[in-house]
Chains A and B, each alone.
Chain A
Amino acid sequence: MKKNPISLHIDPDEFAPATSEEKESLVIMRESVSFWKDGFRRLFRNKIAVVSLAVIILIVIFAYFLPAFWPYSYEQQIQGSENLAPFKYSTAEQARIDAGEKVFPHVCGTDKLGRDFAVRLMMGTRISLTVGLVCAALVLLVGSLFGAIAGFAGGWIDNIMMRFTDILYTIPDILLIIILAMVLRDPLKTLATVKGFQWMQTVGPNLIAIFIVFVLLYWVGMARITRSQVLVLKESEYVTAARAMGAGNGRIIRKHLLTNCIGTLIVTTTLQIPSAIFTESYLSFLGLGVAAPMPSLGSLATDAVKGMNTFPHLLLFPAIFISVTILVFNLFGDGLRDAFDPKLKN
């Protein structure tokens, strides 16, 4: 349109519709970041957490994969190679080496029955890790369900359920853990011989006793945390919206409540792993843990206490492994908490 030079008419070109590029340049929002993306970005920026995660992966490989490739097995007794120091060979093995044969070194030495200690360490780590992981998973399952139901139901149901946990919470757990570990041992051993329960032999009745003990006593903390989360979340608008659209209770718990408190649940579960390993090694030390020939890190350390003056390496290796495992899980759990649940930080 032509403009009259003396008119005050505004230039109409300035009112032309903007092109899409022009529009984009004006958007000041950056791409929205999902919960997971944001959490992982924060997690991977945390150096300590990344290092701990790497160590955890190494420990998992060490415990679950390495024994398959190791030339010795954890119960194999090598005649004549009892009580060897790390990287030492017995006279028979030395003779074989001199004859040109290749003998795999005993990286961590051997114990008093001539068993390769490195592979026993791996199996011990495997058992300890399994205890930690399975217990954490069971606690998560029982605790979060209980907490979610209590928080969601509210009213007198909530009241009764929470009084129950309050009482369990005040009971000094270690007393009952020791008593239960003792009590469950023999009945589970006989149960394992009954038909239909023979699968228990492969896992070991003692290990199952420890799982039961943990689940019975440690779900309380998880239940409390889940409940308090659910109480906050269930008042939120999107739950009202879901209900208005006709969603049932089960769907709301599964789809809305549990998914929204998942960060807290992950963190609490991760921190449960080291505490389970801690307690298992403790029970092993008191003679109530996993039974021979299957070693756990705790029982390996305990067995080595008697001969620690002559064979200190048998004590030091499992001691270091327990401590490092607990340490890295603690550090990684802290990192997860900072990344996924900044509210819990204090």
Chain B
Amino acid sequence: MLKYAVKRVAMGLLSIFIVATLTFFLMNMVPGGPFVAEKSISQEAQAALAAKYGLDKPIMQRYATYMTDFLKGDMGVSLRQRGRTVSGIIFSKFPVSARLAGIAVLIALLLGIPLGCLSAYNRGKLADNTIIVFTTCGIAIPSFISSVLLLYFFGSKLNILPTVGLNSLASYIMPVTALAIYPTAYITRLMRSSLLDVMGQDYIRTAKAKGLANFKIIFKHALRNAVLPVITYVGPMLAGLMTGSFVVEKIFTIPGLGREFVSSIVNRDYTMVMGTTIILATLIITANVIVDILYKVIDPRINLK
């Protein structure tokens, strides 16, 4: 068990390192730089700026400096947002994104699991078919389409929800909905198929033979095992939420980490790109590692080799 955990953690660290290295070299390989786009700056000033941020040194040396600084906890200063450190920006933006994603996860779980059970319980009936139709559509609609449509109908047409920022409670409704549609639909389907699978097992038949009520069988016997696959989905769900947050934060002009990542890439803010990429990658990889280990702990059927 311990050996497995250590192995997974080591592999996770290696993955983070690879992401950081790949990002660093890919970004620096492209001609142009963070200061080229600014037309107002003269050649000399550009060179001076490059020298100030150490961009004139050979790439291997810069890579070594960045990595050693990073291990000491220093992610450098932003190249485009003058005078702000990368860690400072990340610390101020991360809670915004985390809150949005957290609410979306909660909604997805609180809605998806019961809906999946309902669907499996009424298999083949109207409720089941309705849920299947809705979840199938929910999986097919990209988050930017759903958020733009929400924005159009509730923001502009009906004008009942605020469209910009996160200043009031009501302004959470649209971004969270846009983020939560996909995971909710996915969890519902996952839960349905997993519960149907478990309901076919022998021990459920035994419980039925004992004369237990259907309701009790589902909640006491089936649900505990059926909910396991949902746990494995947590890692991919986080990755999906991050993907969604890039566009949702852009559409609803929310000052979160996702928007920061996209704009830093477009602006060639090297240190910001590195910082946000490493943080986001670490988050997702950590979640995956924890889920992998946890899954083996709670499901004794998976043997540990």
Task: Produce 1/0 per residue, B6-21, CB < 8 A to A.
Answer: 0000011011001100
Of B19, B29, B288, which contacts A175 at CB under 8 A? B19
User: Chain B residues with Cβ under 8 A from A166's Cβ?
Assistant: 11
Of the listed stretches A37-45, A86-94, A176-184, name the one at the interface; the rest are far from the partner chain: A176-184
A76 to B142, CA, bound (A): 30
B148 touches A183 (CB 8 A): no
Count class of interface residues, chain A: 35 or more
Contact indicator A175/B148 (Cβ below 8 Å): no
B23 within 8 A of A: yes
B284 CB within 8 Å of chain A = yes
Chain A, residue nearest B229 (CB): A346
Indicate whether B242 reaches chain A with its CB closer than 8 angstroms: yes
Secondary structure class of chain A's binding surface, majority of residues: helix
Contacts of A326 in B (CB 8 A): 140-142
**The residue from B14, B29, B137, B262 contacting A178, defined by CB atoms under 8 A apart:** B262
Contact B156 A187 (CB under 8 A): no
B-binding segment of A143-151, A253-261, A301-309:
A301-309
Q: With a CB–CB cut-off of 8 A, which chain A residues contact B288?
A: 170
Interface string of A254-281 (1 = CB under 8 A from B): 0000000000000000000010001001
Kindly identify which residue among A172, A176, A331, A346 contacts B242, using a CB–CB cutoff of 8 Å: A172
**A-B residue pair count with CB separations less than 8 angstroms:** 114
Q: Is residue B265 contacting chain A, with contact meaning CB distance below 8 A?
A: yes
Contact in complex: A308, B266 (CB < 8 Å) = no
Complex CA distance for A171 and B13, rounded to whole angstroms: 11
- Would B149 and A331 count as touching, CB distance under 8 A? no
Question: Which of A174, A179, A278 is in CB contact (< 8 Å) with B273?
Answer: A179
Q: Report the Cα distance A274→B142, complex, angstroms.
A: 11
Interface bits B241-274 vs A (CB < 8 Å: 1, else 0): 0110011001100000000011001100000010
From residue 24 to 39 of chain B, which have CB atoms closer than 8 A to chain A?
26-27, 29-32
**Residue in A closest to B17 when the chains form the complex, CB atoms:** A167
CA distance A172 to B151 in the complex (A): 28
Contact of B140 (CB < 8 Å), options: A173, A187, A305, A327:
A327
Measured between alpha carbons, how far is A291 from B144 in the docked complex, in Å?
Answer: 19
User: Which residues from 169 to 219 on chain B have a C-beta closer than 8 Å to any C-beta of chain A?
Assistant: 193, 197
Which listed residue, B31, B265, B280, touches A172 by the CB 8 Å rule? B280
Taking CB atoms, residues of chain B closer than 8 Å to A183 are 26-27, 29-30
The answer on a CB contact under 8 Å between B285 and A346 is no
Complex contact B262–A286 (CB within 8 A): yes
Q: How far apart are the CA atoms of A148 and B42 in the complex, in Å? A: 56
User: Given B12, B139, B149, B151, which contacts A170 in the complex, CB threshold below 8 Å?
Assistant: B12
Instruction: Say yes or no for B118: interface residue by CB 8 A criterion.
Output: no
CB contact under 8 A between A282 and B193, given known A170-B11, A176-B22, A301-B145: no
CB distance from B236 to the nearest CB of A (A): 10
Contact A174 B11 (CB under 8 A): no
Among candidates A173, A186, A322, A324, residue contacting B142 with C-beta atoms closer than 8 Å: A322
Q: Does A323 sit within 8 A of B, measured CB to CB?
A: yes
A179 to B22, CA, bound (A): 10
How long is the Cα–Cα vector from A173 to B236 in the complex, in angstroms?
A: 11
- Chain B, residues 119-143, CB within 8 Å of chain A (1/0): the string is 0000000000000000011011110
The complex places the Cα of A312 from the Cα of B157 at a distance, in Å, of 10
25 contacts between A and B (CB under 8 A): A170-B11, A170-B12, A171-B18, A172-B19, A172-B281, A174-B239, A174-B243, A178-B261, A178-B265, A179-B273, A179-B277, A182-B30, A183-B27, A274-B140, A286-B262, A301-B144, A305-B148, A305-B251, A322-B145, A323-B141, A324-B140, A330-B139, A330-B140, A346-B193, A346-B197
